[in-house]
Structure formats: C-alpha cells, structure tokens
Structure 1
Amino acid sequence: MDQLIQKGADVFRFNMSHAEHGWVRVMVPRIRQLAGKTGRPIAILLDAQGPAIRTGDLKTDLDLKRGDILEFTVGGAKPKEKYSVAVNFDGFVSDVSVGDTVLVDNGLIKLLGIDQGKSRVRCKVMTPGKLGSRRHINLPGVHVNLPPLTKKDIVDLKLGVQLGVDFVGLSFARQKSDLDELRNFLARKKSKALIVVKIEDQSAVRQIDEMIAAADAVMIARGDLGIEIPMEELPIIQRRIVKHCIRSGKPVVVATHMLESMITNPIPTRAEITDVANAVFEQADAVMLSGETTVGRYPVECVQILHRVAQRIERSGGGGILTVDP
C-alpha cells in the first residue's frame, strides 16, 4: 500500500461488489495512516454496487454452445430447461422482451430473448461461452425497473459514512433522480462525502448534462458502458463526456481496461499506453485502475506506469490540444 502511494496513487477505491466490511474497516485507517506519513492528500472512494442484475449460484459452470436454450428464472421457479439459472431481480421477466439482446459476463456470452413467461425467460445462445455463478447481466437499451439504491447499497453506504470516506460512487445511475436520492441519504446522515456518478448505460449518456450537473464528479466506466453501446461509439462518447465535464467545471475520471494486459504481464501494450495518453490529451482529471491493482500480478508497476505516462503527456504541453467549444 505504501508503495502504491509512493508511485503516485491519489485515490483508493473500495468496490463494494466484492469488498467485505471487516476488510474495509481495517484498510481505510491504514491508508490514512500511510498518507499522513507522506504528507500527500489521499482520498477514499467507496463504490456502491448499485442495481446490478446477476445470475445466481450454480453447482457447476454451464458450457453453452451456439443455438442452446438458456432459461433465466425468478422467484424460486423450478428449472424446465437443460440449462437454467436464477437471477436476483424478479422484474427481469417483465423487462426482457422477445427479440431483446441479453449480455452476460461483460458481454462474453450473447443471448437472444425468444420466450417470456411469468417466472422465466428463455433465450437462445448466439455467442457461446461458460456461464458461472453471480455473473453480471446487461440489457442494452432496456430501461430496467430497479431502485437506484439497493438494500446492500444502504448498508454499504452507512459503513462509508461511519468511516468518513471522501467520495461515494453511484453505479448504474440512469437519471438525475437517482443522484438526488443518494444526496438526500448522505444529507440525512450528515456526511460530507462527494458523489461520483458512474456513466454506464445509454440512459445516462442521453441525459449526460443533467447527470453532470447533479454530481460532484463523473466517472466514465468503460466496462459496462462499452457493453451497453456499440464499441465504435465508446471513444466518441468518452471524448464528449470529458468535454462536457470541462465545460461544467466537474472533475472526470476515465476508468476500466487502462492497463488490462498487466493483470498478467509485466509491461503494457503500446495500445494501452496510447489509450492512457489520449485520456490525458483529452484533459481528463484522473485515470483509474481496477483489476490491474486488485487481482493483478504487478499493481505497483501499473501505478508507476500510469503516473509516468500522465506526467510525460502533461509536460509535453499536449494536454491543451483539445479545446472546449464555446
């Protein structure tokens, strides 16, 4: 942890999709203690899981082939198909229609809705893959009727308030009212934490100016966003969001897959270096690492490389090449 700070880390993010409360209670004071020794201001970001749709637990992974039928069930319904998995959201069966695309596990498995019932949805496998437990499900272009803050989020946010975190991240925010609900919660708890809205779906992109205005900072969460929109649109939308944030005077973070190959490799690809550089050229305020520093083999090296590239681009003067339209 101290090496990460020495190499240039400015913010530590706790992903509450995975983090245990006991571990967070230990790590937050430790980070603050280390930051105190360096004399640098190090912030803590508690990232709420948000209203994510996930598959349930499976005894073994499902090896899905193209053309197979996969059944999603809710409410404890008994399986009727060879391949069946429960989902954690009862409204799934009403939100998915025949002909809708269903993406699982960061888009690795693509399915097509072919039948809709009261307690199950049947889908045809279009892109094969292995389906495991608790995998994230995306419904591109579909407005999902989930609450902005789940029961788990409330419990996690209360922990963040107790620990005095500096920022809270709102995942899968779809409209301004989602941010208003979080801000009201923090106000009731007398928390001074600032809100980072994560732009992750088409609805948030369509209302980007309202989302920026309602938040204290913005994160372009390219993982889920890149699933929700055509991949060729992602660089355009990233640049547009950064420009809108600059115009509004709101800090903006570019996140996800910055140095993804370094989860297992000691050096990044040239494309990754260019991606990081482009975020700095666009005048983003921060770039963020995820899997690279959580499960990766080279967390310290990742922070060092990110820091080196960002500093070099800023020294070159290239950070000013993107002008904001009047």
Structure 2
Amino acid sequence: MYFDYRHTKIIFTLGPATESEEMLREMIVTGGVDVCRLNMAHASHEWTEMVIKRVRKVCAEVNRHVAIMMDVKGPEIRTGDLPEPIDLEEGEVFDFLVNGDRSGLEEGIRGVTVNYPRLHRDVHEGDTLLVDSGLVRMRIEEIMDDRIRCKVIIPGPMGNRRHINLPGVKVNLPALTEKDKADIEVGLRHNIEFFALSFVREANDLDILRRHLKSHDSEARIIAKIEDQSAISNLDEIITAADALMVARGDLGIECPYEELPLIQRRAVKACIQKKKPVIIATHMLESMIEQPIPTRAEVTDIANAVFEKADCVMLSGETTTGKYPVECARVMNRIARQVERSRETKDYENIPLNKPKAKMLRAAVHLAQDMNKAGIVVFTRSGYLPQILSALRPTRVPIFAFTDQELVFKQMLLMWGVEPFLIDFAEDSETTIKAAFARLYSGRIEWASPGDWMVVITNVLVGEHIIDSIQLRQIE
C-alpha cells in the first residue's frame, strides 16, 4: 500500500506570486496544496472571477483538484487613504476622523479618516488603539463628536487602509457588511466550497452568514476565523455553530497577550477535534520565506507543533501572495508534516465522545484498520458526515479513502485531516460500487493501493428488505 501519505492539509492564499496558470500548476502538482484561499480584503470582483475560473481550469488539466475558500472581511476597521504616508513621532497627538473628511483637521494636528463612522461611540478614553498589526500603538486621550484624539506611544509609519485593532473593545459593526454580501455573491455564482468569515465574535455572527447562504440555496461550508478576545470567550459556541475554525494568529496575537497565543491555539485545536470540526492554523507560519528561500528553525518548529497538535490544516498567506518562494513554502510544509506524522505512535488516535451507534461503529473501524497494520479505510458518503468523524478520530498512518458522487462534498472533504476524497458514480448495487472504488485506488494518477492490500470498508448492505450499516474487511483483488 502507498504509505508516504500526508494527513495534514495545506492551504495557500492566491495572489500576484501565484495567480498565473504556470504557478498554479506548480502549487497544485509540485507543492501539493489542497485548498486555495481568496482574500477579499485585497481583491476586486473581476480578479476574483478570473482566478476562480483559472484555478478550476488548471485543476482539470492536471487531474488534481483543490477546494476554493473565499475569506470575506467581516467587521474590520481600517484607516482611509492619505495623500502620502505619515511618519508618526512618539508623543504626537493624532486624530482619527469618523466623518470621512480630512479637511476638518485642526492646524498642527495630523490625522486620518476611518471606515467606521460610529467608532467614537464604542471606545473610551484610556483605551489602546493599535494600527498595522500592532506596529503603531496609541492611547485614546479624548473623544469628540467627529473624531478620536490619540497620543502616539509607539511610533511608526501610517499608510493607506491600515487595519485598526482595539484590544478588549467590542465594536458594534455588523457581522456581515454590504461589501461582504457583494463579495459572497461572486462566490455563489461560481459555487465555491467554503466561505471564511473574519472577526467572528459570537455564534450569531455565523448564523447570519448561514441564513444568507441558505437564502441563495448554497451548501457551502462556513469557516469561523477567531481573531479577538470576544471569540475566545465564546469559543465553544462558535465551534458548534461553524463548519470549521481558523485560528488567525495575526490579529489574535494583537488582541490577546501574545504569551497566551500558544495556549489558545492548543485549546482551539483540541476543542475542534472533540467537536469533530476541522481546524486551521494560520498566519506567520513561514513569514521569513517571503524573502528567503529556506525557513527559520523557529518556523519549522511552529509548523511541527501544529502537526503534533493534529490540526487539520496549516495555511500560507503572504508567503504565496507576494512572496518570492511560494512553491518552496508549500514543499517545506509538506516535508515537515510528513516527517512529524511518521514519528507518531502507530496505535495513537483521538478518544472523542461518540454517542450515536453509527459513530461508535466508525471507532471500531479505526481500531480494526490500525490493528491490521498497513490497512486503509474505505468509506462511501453523500454528505461528508462519516469521513468527518473518521478524520476527528485521527487514525495514525491509516489513510481514509472517502468516495462520493457529490462534487461539492468531494471538494469539501479536501479540508479534512487524513481524508483523501474521490469522485465516482455510485451503482445501485453496493458490491459494484466497492469494486469500482478499489479499482480507482490502484489505477489513478497516484497508486494509493495495490491488489492484495487490505481495506476496512464502511458501507451499507441490503439484508432482506432492510439496509444495514456494515464494516467489512476486504482484500483488493
């Protein structure tokens, strides 16, 4: 059986460095990426439509498919445009104008507009205001009718459309903005598989997005990005409401004390596995490789820790949008994940709570596959439910081959740890479908298995007039 098998999935963010057909081919075939992320904070609708079509064209040509995730901005606060960048000075008084008009600046005081006209109603004097991933720190000194006046504590450059963080402050922005809805409309037209919502604060934020998708008859899955203290306080209910979770460590590390970030990450991964939801670790994973061809040793350890924690996915952002070495970044993640996964104990798997009889049957299937030593699991699904539970059990060195006749489900399973999905036609007779699945395993682009290999097959069989769930131990002929 084919055993050089990576369970941890790789997400890359599409940008100028990777948007050409040639680079997409390299990322998909050589880099082995599983999901393509579109960051709508920096994307036009024209570009988005173009690259969605391009990704799918390249996938068809190379006969290897990736899922598409649209990352919508959510309730984000940004500065407006400036005639030229400002170099702030320590102790300087600086204004943030909430009415969108820089002509109202007082003489001798510099300032910038913000995109949230109610910002001055949500903050208090003494609050901390951070700009551009925390590189600039200010303290709010005075709140006026049309502006917030701050004092610069840690100076730095102020450019156009810089992101603003307000640690510990709950802003009353809507969970889904008009821009988000317009962006989502583009994704809906092209039936993309995932929508990631930024700055999720509570479960209701996800319910709003889910109702919006349902109103457009979309079965796309929702990924909740946790990025502030509110999300951490409501973590369990957010995971329950979401289809998957992304630990977005950039803003999260600004909004929360940075020394707590590793503990938050570990807690989030563990909670997602227990709730049988995929979890993504994102941001700054290979930041140095934006400019350098090899990773720092700390970055290697960071990725390894995410794999040791059994996160479903690791994600690349700036490394593949504007970086000089995007394919090398994917290769680095590949190498680290495979090496760490090979080091795990053979009989190691997650002891998650399973209440339904069918779910308990899946645990028995994992036991059997691991006891067989070099057996795979074959499962048939139309919803992705059974592979998702098998994935949450995290069977060591046991590939989960999931077969479906639903194209959307096929691509959505690309996010799941350890699941290798296949799209096939289901026959009326289950035995015909099983044989077709076996043939696909040893006759495709990759030889996943060979005749003589053992498979634990999870399927239903017809007994008299009843259909019952079954576990079969089968040898490929």
**TM-score (normalizing by structure 2):** 0.67
2:70 to 22, 46, 50: 46
| Residue equivalent to 1:12 | 36
Unaligned residue ranges in structure 2 (runs of 5+): 1-23, 354-477
| Distance in 2, Cα, partners of 1:259 & 1:76 | 37
| Residue equivalent to 1:245 | 272
Instruction: Choose 315-324 or 163-172, whichever is displaced more.
Output: 315-324
Matched, 1:151 2:178: yes
- For residue 186 of structure 2, give the secondary structure of its aligned residue in structure 1: helix
| Residue equivalent to 2:150 | 123
| Residue equivalent to 2:223 | 196
Question: One-letter code of the match for 1:79?
Answer: L
Question: One-letter code of the match for 1:41?
Answer: H
| Distance in 1, Cα, partners of 2:237 & 2:172 | 20
2:105 to 73, 79, 84: 79
| Distance in 1, Cα, partners of 2:182 & 2:80 | 21
* 1:33 Cα deviation after fit: 2.2
| Distance in 1, Cα, partners of 2:160 & 2:351 | 45
* 1:45 Cα deviation after fit: 0.2
Deviations 1:55-86 (A, max 9, x none): 01101111111100110111145112521111
* 1:121 Cα deviation after fit: 0.7
- For residue 337 of structure 2, give the secondary structure of its aligned residue in structure 1: helix
**C-alpha RMSD over aligned residues:** 1.6
Max Rg structure: 2
Matched, 1:29 2:56: no
| Residue equivalent to 1:309 | 336
Instruction: Choose 72-81 or 255-264, whichever is displaced more.
Output: 72-81
Check conservation: 1:281, 1:318, Cα contact below 8 A. Answer: no
Q: Superposition pairs for residues 1-326 of structure 1, below 5 Å?
A: 1-6=24-29, 7-77=31-101, 78-80=104-106, 81-317=108-344
Identity %: 52
Pair 1:320–1:92, CA change in 2 (3 A): farther
* 1:321 Cα deviation after fit: 7.5
Check conservation: 1:243, 1:324, Cα contact below 8 A. Answer: no
| Residue equivalent to 2:15 | none
Check conservation: 1:242, 1:252, Cα contact below 8 A. Answer: yes
Check conservation: 1:283, 1:322, Cα contact below 8 A. Answer: no
* 1:307 Cα deviation after fit: 1.1
- For residue 5 of structure 1, give the secondary structure of its aligned residue in structure 2: helix
Deviations 1:253-291 (A, max 9, x none): 000000000000111100000000000000000000000
Check conservation: 1:68, 1:125, Cα contact below 8 A. Answer: yes
Pair 1:319–1:277, CA change in 2 (3 A): farther
Pair 1:82–1:324, CA change in 2 (3 A): farther
Question: One-letter code of the match for 1:4?
Answer: M
| Distance in 1, Cα, partners of 2:203 & 2:347 | 31
| Distance in 1, Cα, partners of 2:96 & 2:55 | 42
Give the ranges of 4+ consecutive aligned residues of structure 1 lying more than 6 Å apart after TM superposition: 318-326
| Distance in 2, Cα, partners of 1:155 & 1:101 | 32
Deviations 1:11-59 (A, max 9, x none): 0000000112111111112212222233333100001011110001101
Unaligned residue ranges in structure 1 (runs of 5+): none
| Distance in 1, Cα, partners of 2:239 & 2:346 | 22
**TM-score (normalizing by structure 1):** 0.97
| Distance in 2, Cα, partners of 1:218 & 1:179 | 11
Question: One-letter code of the match for 1:306?
Answer: M
Check conservation: 2:69, 2:195, Cα contact below 8 A. Answer: yes
